[in-house]
Copies of this chain bind each other. A is one copy, B any other.
């Protein structure tokens, strides 16, 4: 969980996750979307992998990265639920009609 929040702290990494939301992408294609060097991007990928937020699959000479949405979801949901934020089912289960209106 700590690793996930650490990973999310950087805007580049959040953007990578966002791009990956649309489907798997190679390291190179991802890197092309950012104004930093490949090695720098590689380091960002490593942080995301460390947090288990993405998964790497070698495809020939390329590496295809894929979002692990469930990991992101679990971390975010368990955190938001800690605060009773409208993030899960839990808090919006009305016992009586209009009870929380």
Contacts and interface: CB of A to CB of B under 8 A. Distances in A.
Interface of A: 2, 5-6, 8-9, 11, 14, 17-18, 21, 69, 72-73, 76-77, 79-80, 82-89
A76 B79 contact: yes
Interface centre among A2, A21, A76 (most CB of B within 10 A): A76
Contacts of A21: 82-84
Interface residues of A: mostly helix, strand, loop or mixed?
helix
Given A8-B8, A8-B9, A69 B85 contact: yes
Contacts of A9: 5-6, 8-9
A76 B21 CA distance: 17
Contacts of A85: 69, 72-73, 76-77
Contacts of A8: 5, 8-9
